[in-house]
Amino acid sequence: MCVFRMKRGQKRGDKVEEGGGSVSGPGPGAPEVCKRLRRGDSEEREQEDGAVDWGRLPEEILLQIFQYLPLLDRAFASQVCRGWNQAFHMPELWRCFEFELNQPASSYLKATHPDLIKQIIKRHSNHLQYVSFKVDSSTESAEAACDILSQLVNCSLKTLGLISTARPSFMELPKSHFISALTVVFVNSKSLSSLKIDDTPVDDPSLKVLVANNSDTLKLLKMSSCPHVSPAGILCVADQCHGLRELALNYHLLSDELLLALSSERHVHLEHLRIDVVSENPGQQFHSIKKSSWDAMVRHSPKFNLVMYFFLYEDEFGPFFRDEVPVTHLYFGRSVSKEVLGRVGLTCPRLVELVVCANGLRPLDEELIRIAERCKQLSAIGLGECEVSCSAFVEFVKMCGGRLSQLSIMEEVLVPDNKYGLDDIHWEVSKHLGRVWFPDMMPTW
């Protein structure tokens, strides 16, 4: 690199000659020469130091990077420079957000910092589109969620989920306080397509507000364990929300009238219906649904999925599986009797998935074989605390064949007999499945 020195007595306007000479008068190209020299010197230093000006990264690159960062890391990164701080506030980064509201004294889960919540409400409430609230069992966390909801007056949410990691949470709030906060979102959003409000004190009048403002856009509604909602409230939703695709509710809200309403020609075909059959007290009585109502539903929506979760005691299954039911996904969360599983094989021809958490000590050989014979679409099965002889299990897999895409069986379920032992069953089942299979192992810790 050339070095220029000013001689003693030389004026600033004199042109400097390479080698120490000088020429009187300012040269017309002097500023450009100096700029090139400074630019070259800067580039040379960057090459020598290997330095990169991260503050000049394009916004689209920063957006991609920030999307992969946890919120706390993103906040720290925003303090690096002005450009990164501006990127931190780009609307695209705030369309989807989960408020984690947990009390340190009652939960080990992390919580969204209160200062950040204030900043989100002040600067980004109008950018929020996909929002969820995750709260612990404390009333304080549920109240904090309602406080945030009541301030979302400038938002246009598309999805809203209220998730309680433990009960009672929202159910402990005054009903009027919760409804007031929720209706703020219902009234101002106008474009809700997905709403999950399980275990909340939502009621029929608030559902009418929901329908009045979001009937054209609502596609998914999950509201299990909402004791203040009546069958009439669900009928209002079914009657007005013609774009409804997925509905989840408790069995006590299911009725013949609702199924017939969902089967009306005015409605778009429902794709998923989830029913939670939960016993709050031992010996609880359950109503039955007519076969004709289910038949109307199948005629109207032949490909709809009926998902049923059972959390009942064994003596409460009386009204169920007496007539044909179009259930496709069936989960038994508590012990279910051998007799009930036998009825499942006779009354559930559309069954695709079956999960049995517990049964007892009586082998389910005949019941499994019957399910394999009658349920021609069965492709997934899971067995927990049950007993099945190895021979019956091999026969079951042989009858179902390669259509069993998921086969989750604990090793303790399989009982060796005079034909197959535990060492043999792996090879036999793998042969009929057309792929390598092993039973699940119980963890040793």
Question: Is the residue at 87 inside a domain?
Answer: yes
Per-residue pLDDT at 41: 55
Q: What CATH number did the domain enclosing 86 receive? A: 1.20.1280.50
Per-residue pLDDT at 31: 56
* pLDDT tier at 9, thresholds 50, 70, 90: very low
Residue 145 pLDDT > 50: yes
Per-residue pLDDT at 19: 43
Mean pLDDT of the chain: 84
Residue 130 pLDDT > 50: yes
Per-residue pLDDT at 69: 84
Question: Is the residue at 78 inside a domain?
Answer: yes
Mean pLDDT of 426-430: 91
Per-residue pLDDT at 186: 93
Edge-to-edge strands, sheet with 96-101? 96-101, 130-135, 159-164, 194-196, 220-222, 246-250, 272-278, 305-311, 329-335, 353-358, 380-385, 406-409
Least confident of 112-121, 168-177, 302-311: 112-121
Per-residue pLDDT at 274: 96
* pLDDT tier at 29, thresholds 50, 70, 90: low
Domain count, the chain: 1
Question: Is the residue at 156 inside a domain?
Answer: no
Per-residue pLDDT at 249: 93
* pLDDT tier at 203, thresholds 50, 70, 90: very high
Question: Is the residue at 86 inside a domain?
Answer: yes
Question: Is the residue at 74 inside a domain?
Answer: yes
Residue 363 pLDDT > 60: yes
* Residues 275-285 pLDDT 10s: 999 987 777 88
* Residues 45-102 pLDDT 10s: 545 555 566 767 787 888 888 888 887 788 888 888 888 888 888 888 888 888 888 8
Residue 24 pLDDT > 50: no
Mean pLDDT of 162-178: 86
Residues of the chain with pLDDT > 90, as a percent, come to: 46
* pLDDT tier at 2, thresholds 50, 70, 90: very low
- Its domain, for residue 87, covers 58-93
- 3-state SS string over the chain? CCCCCCCCCCCCCCEECCCCCEECCCCCCHHHHHHHHHHHHHHHHHHHHCCCCHHHCCHHHHHHHHHCCCHHHHHHHCCCCHHHHHHHCCHHHHCEEEEEECCCCCCCCCCCCHHHHHHHHHHCCCCCCEEEEEECCCHHHHHHHHHHHHCCCCCCCCEEEEEECCCCHHHHCCHHHHHHHHHHHHHHHCCCCEEECCCCCCCHHHHHHHHHHHCCCCCEEECCCCCCCCHHHHHHHHHHCCCCCEEEEEHHHCCHHHHHHHCCCCCCCCCEEEEEEECCCCCCCCCCCCHHHHHHHHHHCCCCEEEEEEECCHHHCCCCCCCCCCCCEEEEEEECCHHHHHHHHHHCCCCCEEEEEECCCCCCHHHHHHHHHHCCCCCEEEEEECCEEHHHHHHHHHHHHHHCCEEEEEHHHEECCCCCCHHHHHHHHHHHHCCCCCCECCCCC
Residues of the chain with pLDDT > 70, as a percent, come to: 84
* Residues 218-273 pLDDT 10s: 999 999 889 899 988 998 898 888 889 999 999 999 999 989 888 886 766 889 99
Least confident of 19-33, 222-236, 298-312, 423-437: 19-33
* Residues 65-75 pLDDT 10s: 888 888 778 88
Mean pLDDT of 177-201: 92
Per-residue pLDDT at 32: 60
* pLDDT tier at 44, thresholds 50, 70, 90: low
Residue 342 pLDDT > 70: yes
Residue 290 pLDDT > 50: yes
Question: Is the residue at 73 inside a domain?
Answer: yes
* pLDDT tier at 23, thresholds 50, 70, 90: very low
Least confident of 5-14, 352-361, 419-428: 5-14
